[in-house]
Amino acid sequence: MSAPPRTVILTGAGVSADSGVATFRDPQGVWAQYDHREVATPQGFAANPRLVHEFYNARRRGLPEVAPNLAHEAIARFQAEAAARGGSAILVTQNVDDLHERAGSEQVWHMHGELAKARCDGPEPGTPGCGAIHPWTDDLGLETACPACGATGGMRPHVVWFGEMPMLMEEIEAALAAADCFVSIGTSGSVYPAAGFVHAARAMGVKCVELNLEPSENAYAFDDGRYGRASDVVPAWVREVLGDS
């Protein structure tokens, strides 16, 4: 099987699991330790911004402690090789970590935002701030001033919360419509709109492949599935598709 000319890859928390980053819905996952309504919704932020900042500060502080794994590296290699062969491999991730970039992926479409960025939403939750987005590695808090407008109290993680619109949706839909192959890696298929991508791709005649630890909720919708740890199955799939020995 030669590399499909136009591929869209979707990743979820499972691609970073072998780097030691917790997934969300596994038994020891993030949502087994926190109530997502308290730490990952606009209402939770309005009710207790300090708790939300603490939740994201702890995850942001953990970023330097983890490193890309063989799955991130294989995806970066696949993207480079697809481009070298005159095709494309667009990487859409639900993850807010920076492991794809650190593995060498250049174009990474973070549809749920990025932990290493902060946004000025204004002094009161829900009031428009200057909207500036800044690279951010330090802690955030109510006293944090926006480097662009100086307002405090409105800086928030540049992360999409439940109930908010994911980013880059028009671009993602256009990429799926133009794709020959859709590859879903390390996601449970629990959260829309990402969980709907396979259905949209399938309806447009796109070949759909799932690479995951175990069959996801949408496994039935895929043409092919390879199951195991991402750091094993992703490099193996990339070698097969690129025709490596």
Establish whether the linkage from the previous residue to 193 is cis, with ω within 30° of 0: yes
Our answer to whether residue 110 is catalytic in this structure is no
Beta partners for residue 145, in sequence order? 152
Which residues here bind ligand APR, judged by CB under 6 A?
Answer: 12-14, 17-18, 23-26, 29, 94, 112, 186-188, 190-191, 212-214, 216, 229-230
Q: The tokens 């993850």 sit on which residue?
A: 95
CB 74 → ligand APR: shortest distance, Å? Answer: 12
* Cβ-defined contacts of 36-45 (< 8 Å, 24+): 36/162, 37/162, 40/159, 40/161, 40/162, 41/161, 41/162, 41/163, 42/125, 42/126, 42/161, 42/163, 42/164, 43/163, 44/161, 45/125, 45/156, 45/161
CB 26 → ligand APR: shortest distance, Å? Answer: 6
CB within 8 Å of 34: residues ≥ 6 apart: 40, 55
In the complex with ligand APR, the residue whose CB is nearer, 7 or 216, is 216
Q: Among 72, 110, 112, 158, which one carries the catalytic annotation?
A: 112
Q: Find the residue with minimal CB distance to ligand APR.
A: 14
Distance CA 111, CA 86 (A): 26
CB 113 → ligand APR: shortest distance, Å? Answer: 9
In the complex with ligand APR, the residue whose CB is nearer, 18 or 121, is 18
In the complex with ligand APR, the residue whose CB is nearer, 37 or 50, is 37
Q: How many beta carbons lie within 10 A of that of residue 139, not counting itself?
A: 13
CB 92 → ligand APR: shortest distance, Å? Answer: 11
CB 7 → ligand APR: shortest distance, Å? Answer: 19
In the complex with ligand APR, the residue whose CB is nearer, 152 or 190, is 190
In the complex with ligand APR, the residue whose CB is nearer, 149 or 219, is 219
* Both tokens assigned to 143: 């006293």
Beta partners for residue 8, in sequence order? 90, 182
Give catalytic residues, as residue numbers: 112
